[in-house]
Structure 1
Amino acid sequence: MSKNNSAPLEKLKHIQLLLLDVDGVLTDGSIIYNDDGSETKIFNARDGVGLRLVMQAGITLGIVTGRSSKALRHRCDNLGIRYLFDGVGDKAGMLEKIVAQTGIGPEHAAFVGDDLPDLPIMKRTGLSIAVADANEIVRQKADWTTQAPGGHGAVREVCEALLTAKGLWDEIVERY
């Protein structure tokens, strides 16, 4: 077990912007190509509930991913995710644009990633999070590593920890 398995609640308290990679974070990293060349992605429904709860709590949510797909755009539309940045080669550079658009400083942002292309943006946010099955180097450099793997509840784990740190989780549970 790595040293960063416990959710850093003190850091999470100050997060106002949650940014996510897609392949390997919102999905398990598999890419399914259909006969017509289109892609199929499998998303975790509980991750989606967590993302909605985070947005309802007033936390800004964004997607920053190197690949583009219609399936991803559809998922973001379905969830009401306003900030979708796909086909991004320079994720750290994109962070500057997101900060300008949202007015939220990088010190109040968290990024959830799984592989080497995520490291530059992870180094620039206030909290860097790796999913359990992320590349070993990414896990070592992250402030926190989730217990769940990408596409299998890691994002929900982050959402619940974020809402818990802000003192909102119990209230949300009581509504149900």
Structure 2
Amino acid sequence: MASYVLLEQARHIEALVLDVDGILSDGFVTLTNSGDEIKSFDIRDGLGMKLVQKAGIKVIIITGRKSNIVEKRMSDLGVDLIFQGREDKGVALTEACAQFGIDPSDCLYMGDDWPDLSAFAIAGMKVTVPNGHLEVRRRADLVTQAMGGRGAVREICDMLLVSKGVYQELLEKYASAPY
């Protein structure tokens, strides 16, 4: 689990802002012979995103690519805002914050490559994955144990829930007997 300093920093987070490729997915673009794109998501990340929303944290997606797959999955999860086709991630983060009346310093931004650095420059917390680009890892407050698309987002969601003091309460709802 994260250090006391990181948990204290995370306690003030109001929005979890995520890149898609390399964070919510493994970063690979798989194309079929007919040109259709295939993308996989870790189901644990999805539950984590729903849990942080229950804790009052907004979930925002900012991705440089456009994909119907992303639109469908994020819509199914009920994320608060989706920006697709945005290479200007710092500008997109500023726009997202304005929509919710929050400051970028109250956001945790999770990205893995150079296009994410403009958002890193203004976000209050910066997180990446072990295979994130070296320059992104250098600027991150935290590098997850899990890889992108393989539970890294859930790892951060759990940290946020612990920092907000609601992890155990939410866990008990799942762990208690149904009667």
Gaps of 5+ in 2: 175-179
What number of residue pairs does the alignment pair up?
Answer: 172
The aligned runs of 1:17-166 (5 Å cut-off) are 17-166=15-164
For normalisation by structure 1, the TM-score amounts to 0.94
**What do you get for the CA RMSD once the two structures are aligned?**
1.1
2:8 alignment partner AA: E
Report the secondary structure of 1:175's partner residue: helix
Structure 1 residue 37: Cα displacement: 1.6
Letter of the structure 2 residue corresponding to residue 119 of structure 1: L
Is the CA contact (8 Å cut-off) linking 1:132 and 1:154 kept in structure 2? no
Equivalent position SS for 1:22: coil
Relative to the length of structure 2, the TM-score reads: 0.93
SS at match of 1:101: helix
In 2: Cα distance, 1:174 partner to 1:96 partner: 36
- Matched residue of 2:44: which SS? helix
Q: Which amino acid aligns with 2:161?
A: L
Q: Relative to structure 1, is the Cα distance of residues 74 and 130 closer, same or farther in structure 2, using a 3 angstrom cutoff?
A: same
Give CA-to-partner distance per residue, 1:127-151, whole Å, 9 cap, x none.
0011122111111110111111100
| Partner AA of 1:144 in structure 2 | L
Distance in 2 separating the partners of 1:51 and 1:6:
18
- Per-residue deviation at 1:81? 1.1
Q: Is the CA contact (8 Å cut-off) linking 2:106 and 2:123 kept in structure 1? A: yes
Q: Deviations over 1:22-59 (max 9, x none)?
A: 00000010111122222110000000110110111111
Aligned to 1:172: 170
Indicate if the aligned counterparts of 1:130 and 1:146 stay in contact, CA closer than 8 A: yes
- Aligned-residue identity in percent: 43
> In structure 2, what is the Cα distance between the partners aligned to 1:166 and 1:90?
30
Task: Give the distance between the partners of 1:45 and 1:155, measured in 2 at CA.
Answer: 10
Q: CA separation in 2, counterparts of 1:172 and 1:50?
A: 11
Partner Cα distance (1:95, 1:134) in 2: 20
